[in-house]
């Protein structure tokens, strides 16, 4: 399985942007990059995913390096509710189709200060 490397923890201030990095130097050409987050005492929730181009949705932006060996999840204005563990995951495609599984690492614990 292609692996990812994330900092164990990061800290941010409320209403400031947050850039969460992820390294995936062994990514293959067909691996998608997924981000999930887990709020305290809850199950993980989907944040965003991408392949090559940068992606935006209502929750965050995903910036993918040109060589695809790293990516950055961007929260444009952090709120206290964004305090969570953020997981960067490479999609492990069994057959290149929908039969894939997500292997979660330890993620980055984001603390947001008021």
Partner 1 sequence: DAGVIQSPRHEVTEMGQEVTLRCKPISGHDYLFWYRQTMMRGLELLIYFNNNVPIDDSGMPEDRFSAKMPNASFSTLKIQPSEPRDSAVYFCASRGQGLGRNEQFFGPGTRLTVL
Residues making contact with partner 1 (CB under 8 A): 32, 34, 36, 38, 42-46, 49, 87, 94, 98-99, 101-106
Nearest to 50 by CA among 91, 17, 20, 94: 91
7 or 104: CB nearest partner 1: 104
Provide, rounded to whole angstroms, the least separation between the CB of residue 46 and partner 1. Answer: 4
Provide, rounded to whole angstroms, the least separation between the CB of residue 30 and partner 1. Answer: 14
Provide, rounded to whole angstroms, the least separation between the CB of residue 43 and partner 1. Answer: 3
16 or 45: CB nearest partner 1: 45
Q: What's the per-residue H, E or C state across the chain? A: CCCCECCCEEEEECCCCEEEEEECCCCCCCCCEEEEEECCCCCCEEEEEECCCCEECCCCEEEECCCCCEEEEEECCCCHHHCEEEEEEEEEECCCCCCEEECCCCCEEEEEEC
85 or 112: CB nearest partner 1: 85
Assigned token pair, 30: 């067909």
23 or 38: CB nearest partner 1: 38
Provide, rounded to whole angstroms, the least separation between the CB of residue 14 and partner 1. Answer: 26
């Amino acid at each position: 399985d292609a692996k990812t490397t994330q900092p164990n923890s990061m800290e941010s201030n409320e209403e400031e942007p947050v850039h969460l990095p992820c390294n995936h130097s062994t990514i293959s050409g067909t691996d998608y990059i997924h981000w999930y987050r887990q709020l305290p005492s809850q199950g993980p929730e989907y944040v965003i995913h991408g392949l090559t181009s940068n992606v935006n949705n209502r929750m965050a932006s995903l910036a993918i390096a040109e060589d695809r060996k790293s990516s950055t999840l961007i929260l444009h204005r952090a709120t206290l509710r964004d305090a969570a563990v953020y997981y960067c995951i490479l999609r492990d495609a069994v057959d290149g189709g929908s039969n894939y599984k997500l292997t979660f690492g330890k993620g980055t614990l984001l603390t947001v200060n008021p």
